[in-house]
Structure formats: structure tokens, C-alpha cells
């Protein structure tokens, strides 16, 4: 049963990954050593052929000397049409030209009309035309052929022969087997190969040492990252790093900085959420207990509970909006949106609040194409306009103006509220800042302007709160947002 269980376990294991990560060291070693080995291989083939050519050049002289020696033994006998060539050479005389017993010589002497004068009758005939020679002055031609199934080197010499009976041109062919030439070529090749082998070994050792030294910073970086804690997002050290690694280290440090920012934001979001939601939940618990005991009238209890739930719901929505701003800040695929359409839709949505307070509302907008998500512009415009409606007294003036110049679009929302003091202007953009310009407590959550600031910064814009004065008195507040146009 044990083998069956083991086989079943193997079947249920995940298959190995098809794409194994490549090794930088292995890539460098293969990329350097393989071309070297390929060059050595090609050089070996070329060297062997050059050695054979050198051996042919050396031993071709011996073939030429043998052919000339045969030519010296020829004479013309007879006269007129009966004149022919006669050779007095014996085959044993060729032994002097044989270097050793590993190679053999064969010859053939042809007369004026191509008839056999002496030698081996079955020796293949040479070419009909003699190519031009630049090395030898004699009419000689060397080529490779085969005789009796054995490769041979052939020399063909045209030898003039003259005598009292006439003169003409004799053809002398001398063939030699290739054992000696091939032995010499192999010896030359082997003598060179061991030197090349030593050279390749030295190159391989140097390459291994250089690659090992060059990849040491990468291994050190890998070990340093592996030894870090999970929450350690400190920048990687760049001192002493190779120049080629600096772009990677800089990009990694920038990415870790963004991750650290997101992590800090998440921690702050969780901390603020737990702190801010604890109060309305505690109030809701007390209200429910009070209603159950009958301390207050049921309708009054329901109204208080509804008000608390509404405030908690608004707080939760705003905190989720604040978290979404951070997500959109990392999004690099931002579309183009007409800001004027968004402002018109937001004003229409809040028209009931404007009518409830009987505000003198004016809307003056012009088309402005900015690079932003629709949600961001809608949340930004809604928070600013809703905040202005809350702080504008009933039957007062509220104006919304959207204009643009060559590079930027500017949205200005002018209310008729009490304005803000200079020491509170910057604090109002901080989360959970719920003070008004007069320093009194507000019923808001204090997240509206923080959301606006986060959206404006994510869109590379600016936001400004400025008191509007008349006759040395504050008569309202202008909230101005500037965003870059899509050019």
C-alpha cells in the first residue's frame, strides 16, 4: 500500500513550473564561453585544412622532383612517323622518393599520341588542358584523385623530349597515397590544439572569476533583501553599487517609497477609522439602551438614532472616499474629463439644498478638459459646493465660476459665510478638523477638505481658501481650485 500512497501523493503534487528563472551568471558564462568554443571549433577545422594544404605544398615538390626524374630517363627512338618515346626507368628506382613505408608511389608515362610508355596502365588520365601555374615554372598540375579505391595526390608533368629521330611532348603522371600527408597535418593540428586548449582553459577561468566578481553586488543585494523584515521598506543602499545597477536601485527605492506611503496611509486609515467610528457607535448604543428603558419618547428616540446612523454613514462614506483618493493617485491611466459638465451635474444634485436655504445662486462655467477620473472631479466639486452651502446664511449669495486660460482651469466657489482665520486656514485641510472660522465646533466630520486636498494633489493642482473682504470686513470665503488643462 505504501508505494500506491506515494504514487498518489506524487500525482496530486503541483507540476513544476515550465519557465524556470534564468541565472545571470549562467547567461554571462554561456554568452562568453560558447562563442569562444565555437571559434575554437571553426579554427580547428580551418587549421586542419591549412595543415593539409601546407603538407600538399611540401610534398608536391617531391612529386614534381619524381616526375622530372622520370622525364630525364626518356629518349626518342626511331625516325619519322615511327619515332616514339622509350623509358629505361625501373619501378625500383622510385623507392628513393618514398619518404617511408606508409606511402606508395605510382606513375605512368604517355608518349606523343598518349600511348603507354611505362608505368601503371590503369592510372587515371590527367586533365586535357593544363591550368596556368604561378608557383612552378614547369608545365605541371597537381590535383586530388582516387586510384584503386585509395585517395591519392596526382602530379601531371608535360615533359619535352627530343632526339635524332624527332621531338615531342611526353605526359608524366605520378601519384602518391595520402598517409604521410595526413599524418603530418594531424601532427601540426595536435601541436596547435593543446596550446589552444590551454588558452581556452585560461579564458574560461578568467571569465568565471570576472563574472563571479561582477555579479557579487547582485548576490549581496539579494541576500540583503532576503534578510529584511516583512515591513522593512527602507531604501536600499546605493553606495559602492556598480553604475549599471543604479537605475534598478533607484527605481526599487522609489517603488518602496510609494509602498511605504501606502502602508502609512493604510495604518492611519485604520487608526482613524477605529477612533472616529467608536464615538457614533457608542452614542448609538446609549440611545438604543435609553429607548429600551423608556427614558424618552419612542419617536424622539427614533429621530436621535436616525440622526446618529446618518452621521456614521456619512463618516464611513467620507473615509472610504479618502482611501479611494490614495488608490487613484497610483493609477497611471487617467482619462480626460470635461470639468464643466461635472460641476453642472453636482449643482443639479444639490439644487434641493440650495432651494431649501433660498440662496441667490449663480453658475457661470465654461468647458475645461482636464485629466482626471469622473469620480475625483465629482467628489471634489461636491465637497466644496456642499461645504459652501452649509456655511452660507439663508437668502444669501452663492456663486460658482469655472474659467480657464492657456494652461489651467480654475473653479471658484464664493459663499457669504463668516470666512476663516489665518491660523485655521491650513488646519482645515487636515483630517477630522471640524472648526469653523469663528472657532466654534462644527457638526461635520472634518474630512471634506482633506478629501479635496488629496484629490487636488493627485491631479497636480492647487487649492486655496481666501477670505473676501468689503469695507475692511469679511463678507465671505472664496475656495479656488486650479487644475492643469489637457493641451
User: Grid coordinates 477670505 are at which residue?
Assistant: 467
* Section 219-243 average pLDDT: 81
Enter the pTM of the model: 0.47
Supply the DSSP symbol for 23. P
pLDDT of residue 403: 94
**β-strand partners of 405:** none
Reported as half-sphere exposure (CB side, CA atoms, 13 A), residue 162 has a value of 1
119-133, 198-212, 245-259, 332-346: segment of lowest average pLDDT: 119-133
CA distance 202 to 205: 5
Q: Find all residues with CB under 8 Å of 61, minimum gap 6, and list them.
A: none
pLDDT of residue 138: 61
pLDDT of residue 481: 94
Give yes or no for residue 345 having a pLDDT over 90. yes
Work out the mean pLDDT of the chain and round it to a whole number.
Answer: 79
pLDDT of residue 116: 82
pLDDT of residue 275: 60
* Section 212-230 average pLDDT: 82
pLDDT of residue 61: 83
CA distance 425 to 411: 18
CA distance 435 to 424: 8
* Section 223-245 average pLDDT: 80
> Does residue 16 or residue 235 have the better pLDDT?
235
Give yes or no for residue 9 having a pLDDT over 50. no
- In what order do the strands lie in the sheet containing 150-163? 116-119, 105-110, 166-177, 150-163, 140-147
Confidence of residue 160 (pLDDT cuts 50, 70, 90): confident
pLDDT of residue 344: 94
Q: What is the pLDDT of residues 378-392, one digit of tens each?
A: 888 988 999 899 889
pLDDT of residue 190: 84
Give yes or no for residue 445 having a pLDDT over 90. no
pLDDT of residue 20: 61
Report, at the CATH architecture level, how domain 46-186 is classified: 2-Layer Sandwich (3.30)
CA distance 258 to 233: 10
Q: Which CATH topology does 336-484 take?
A: Heat Shock Protein 90 (3.30.565)
Give yes or no for residue 477 having a pLDDT over 80. yes
Q: What is the pLDDT of residues 348-401, one digit of tens each?
A: 999 999 999 999 999 999 999 998 888 888 888 988 999 899 889 999 999 999
Q: Where do the structural domains in the chain lie, given as residue ranges?
A: 46-186, 248-329, 336-484
**DSSP result, 141-202:** EEEEEEETTEEEEEEEEEEEEEETTEEEEEEEEEEEESHHHHHHHHHHHHHHHHHHHHHHHH
- The alpha carbon of residue 222 and the mean position of all alpha carbons in its chain are separated, in whole angstroms, by 19
* Section 78-96 average pLDDT: 65
156 with 130: CB under 8 angstroms?
yes
CA distance 9 to 185: 61
Give yes or no for residue 50 having a pLDDT over 90. no
Amino acid at each position: 500500500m505504501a508505494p500506491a500512497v506515494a504514487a498518489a501523493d506524487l500525482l496530486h503534487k503541483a507540476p513544476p513550473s515550465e519557465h524556470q528563472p534564468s541565472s545571470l551568471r549562467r547567461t554571462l558564462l554561456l554568452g562568453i564561453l560558447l562563442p569562444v568554443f565555437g571559434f575554437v571549433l571553426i579554427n580547428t577545422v580551418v587549421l586542419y585544412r591549412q595543415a593539409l594544404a601546407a603538407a600538399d605544398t611540401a610534398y608536391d615538390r617531391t612529386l614534381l622532383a619524381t616526375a622530372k626524374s622520370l622525364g630525364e630517363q626518356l629518349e626518342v627512338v626511331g625516325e619519322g612517323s615511327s619515332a616514339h618515346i622509350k623509358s629505361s626507368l625501373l619501378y625500383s628506382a622510385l623507392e628513393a622518393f618514398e619518404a617511408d613505408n606508409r606511402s606508395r608511389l605510382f606513375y605512368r608515362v604517355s608518349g606523343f599520341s598518349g600511348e603507354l610508355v611505362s608505368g601503371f596502365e590503369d592510372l587515371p588520365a590527367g586533365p586535357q588542358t593544363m591550368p596556368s601555374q604561378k608557383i612552378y615554372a614547369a608545365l605541371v598540375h597537381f590535383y586530388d584523385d582516387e586510384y584503386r579505391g585509395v585517395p591519392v595526390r596526382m602530379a601531371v608533368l608535360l615533359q619535352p623530349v627530343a632526339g635524332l629521330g624527332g621531338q615531342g611532348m611526353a605526359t608524366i603522371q605520378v601519384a602518391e597515397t595520402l598517409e604521410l600527408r595526413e599524418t603530418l597535418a594531424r601532427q601540426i593540428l595536435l601541436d596547435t590544439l593543446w596550446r589552444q586548449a590551454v588558452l581556452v582553459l585560461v579564458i574560461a577561468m578568467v571569465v568565471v572569476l570576472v563574472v563571479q566578481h561582477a555579479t557579487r553586488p547582485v548576490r549581496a543585494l539579494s541576500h540583503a533583501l532576503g534578510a529584511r523584515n516583512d515591513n522593512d521598506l527602507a531604501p536600499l543602499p546605493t553606495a559602492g553599487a556598480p553604475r549599471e545597477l543604479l537605475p534598478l536601485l533607484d527605481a526599487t527605492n522609489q517603488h518602496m517609497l510609494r509602498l511605504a506611503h501606502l502602508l502609512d496611509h493604510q495604518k492611519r486609515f485604520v487608526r482613524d477609522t477605529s477612533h472616529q467610528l467608536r464615538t457614533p457607535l457608542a452614542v448609538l448604543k446609549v440611545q438604543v439602551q435609553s429607548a429600551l428603558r423608556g427614558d424618552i419618547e419612542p419617536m424622539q428616540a427614533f429621530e436621535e438614532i436616525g440622526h446618529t446612523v446618518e452621521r456614521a454613514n456619512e463618516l464611513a462614506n467620507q473615509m472610504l472616499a479618502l482611501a479611494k483618493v490614495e488608490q487613484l493617485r497610483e493609477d497611471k491611466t487617467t482619462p480626460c474629463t470635461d470639468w464643466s459638465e461635472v460641476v453642472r451635474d453636482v449643482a443639479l444634485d444639490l439644487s434641493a439644498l440650495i432651494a431649501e436655504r433660498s440662496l441667490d445662486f449663480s453658475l457661470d462655467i465654461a468647458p475645461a478638459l482636464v485629466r482626471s477620473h469622473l469620480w475625483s472631479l465629482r467628489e471634489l466639486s461636491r465637497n466644496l459646493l456642499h461645504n459652501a452651502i452649509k456655511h452660507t446664511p439663508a437668502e444669501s449669495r452663492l456663486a460658482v465660476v469655472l474659467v480657464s486660460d492657456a494652461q489651467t482651469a480654475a473653479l471658484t466657489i464664493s459663499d457669504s459665510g463668516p470666512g476663516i482665520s489665518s491660523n485655521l486656514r491650513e488646519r482645515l485641510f487636515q483630517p477630522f478638523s471640524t472648526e469653523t472660522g469663528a472657532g466654534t465646533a462644527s457638526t461635520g466630520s472634518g474630512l471634506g477638505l482633506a478629501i479635496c486636498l488629496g484629490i487636488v494633489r493627485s491631479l497636480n493642482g492647487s487649492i486655496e481658501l481666501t477670505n473676501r473682504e468689503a469695507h475692511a470686513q469679511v463678507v465671505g470665503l472664496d475656495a479656488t481650485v486650479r487644475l492643469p488643462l489637457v493641451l
